[in-house]
Amino acid sequence: MIATAATPRPETSFVVPPGLEATLPPERRGIPRDGVRLLAATPARVSHHRFSELPRLLEPGDLVVVNTSATLPAALTVRAGGGSAALLHVSGWLDDSSWIVEVRRPDNAGPDLAVAAGDVLRSGEVSLTFARPHPDPTAAPSRLWDVAVSPPTDALAHLARHGRPIVYGQVAGHLPLSDHQTVYADVPGSAEMVSAGRPFTHALLARLRAHGVIVASLTLHAGVSSPEFHELPAPERYVVPGETARLVSATRAAGRRVIAVGTTVVRALETVADHRGRARGGGGWTDLVLGPGRPARVVTGLITGLHLPESSHLLLLEAVAGAGIVRRAYDAALERRYLWHEFGDSMLLMPGTWLPIGVAGTSTGDA
């Protein structure tokens, strides 16, 4: 389903000027993984740091929740019946062994919306027959499709043999899969990197724990994003362990902060949260979309990268932090020329909280 005028729009509005796209991972730009900039925004102020300073911005008893989903080499070069090549992004797979895919235009500037039911593409030894639009079989045109795979083939094994990481125009060339992983990724399944957690290092995680910050995990497999149309996210598969849910509820009960690392973590935690803000372990597929009609119930802080204008991710940021904080954060990021996209800089959004007294950083003044 392509975004329409009826699709909710974020209140935050801005324009990213040329030159603010991170085209390579920080390590390939001479910067440590945790050396990217970190903008911290609260109702009181906006301040500027390095990501490695994160332990000083949090307090003992805070809970940081990360997503352990690992990035797949989910881009395939496929062939049509006449032998012409096309680019295919594999967004995931269903219990009936069909795959969820997006066909890209030859220049990778957007999805190919001319795909129709019955079309067949080949990838290596398998054929892919387009069955129905995903997730709404009646959608027209559709960006995502369910395809029948013949012979039935394990997607993970096929992508390992034939795939490469998904990249868009801002990335300078093809990078090894390791550049598209977080250091704690251990459950293969995401079509694109769950990039908010990329700046973490093992040493930084150890420093957080030594500071008294609790680190917990869950898994949500991110599908193929919609950078051209800004569609709301399609259903995604997730698992929230019971222990993580118990830690979330206990942290909230103690009056401490639950800080999600990325929009995927927010989506998973809010899926298992009841109307009273209590979390329970669980798993399956989530179609939850946070926005004006569904604010966050258990997440009280968010670590995130910088999203594109009109992106549906901005709705989620506003649902957690409020539109005012998000607008001020993006205004400050533009003023300081922060870098966008998965290899860029980061934000820490903490609504209703103050940075600990004595934290160094350049403030933009009271909000």
pLDDT higher than 90, residue 289: yes
pLDDT for residue 107: 87
pLDDT higher than 80, residue 367: no
Backbone φ and ψ for 336, nearest 5 degrees, come out as -90, 5
Average pLDDT rounded to a whole number, residues 67-94: 94
Q: Give the fold, CATH level 3, of 75-162.
A: Thrombin, subunit H (2.40.10)
Q: How confident is the model at residue 353 (pLDDT cuts 50, 70, 90)?
A: low
Strand 258-261: give its sheet, edge to edge: 282-286, 236-240, 214-220, 63-67, 258-261, 301-305, 346-349, 37-41, 45-50, 362-366
Which residue ranges does the chain devote to CATH 2.40.10? 75-162
Average pLDDT rounded to a whole number, residues 112-132: 96
26-71+174-354 architecture in CATH?
Answer: 3-Layer(aba) Sandwich (3.40)
Contact 344, 51 (CB under 8 A): no
Which residue ranges does the chain devote to CATH 3.40.1780.10? 26-71+174-354
Average pLDDT rounded to a whole number, residues 302-319: 93
| Between 171 and 217, the higher pLDDT residue | 217
Q: Would you say how long the chain is, in residues?
A: 367
pLDDT for residue 253: 93
Average per-residue pLDDT in the chain? 92
pLDDT for residue 64: 98
pLDDT higher than 60, residue 319: yes
| Between 255 and 171, the higher pLDDT residue | 255
pLDDT for residue 171: 84
Q: How confident is the model at residue 364 (pLDDT cuts 50, 70, 90)?
A: very low
pLDDT higher than 60, residue 26: yes
Q: How confident is the model at residue 8 (pLDDT cuts 50, 70, 90)?
A: confident
Q: How far is 331 from 318, CA to CA, in rounded Å?
A: 14
**How do residues 192-244 score in pLDDT, each as one tens digit?**
999 999 999 999 999 999 999 999 999 999 999 988 888 889 999 999 999 99
pLDDT for residue 124: 92
pLDDT higher than 90, residue 292: no
pLDDT for residue 365: 40
Sign of CA dihedral 137, 139, 140, 142: negative
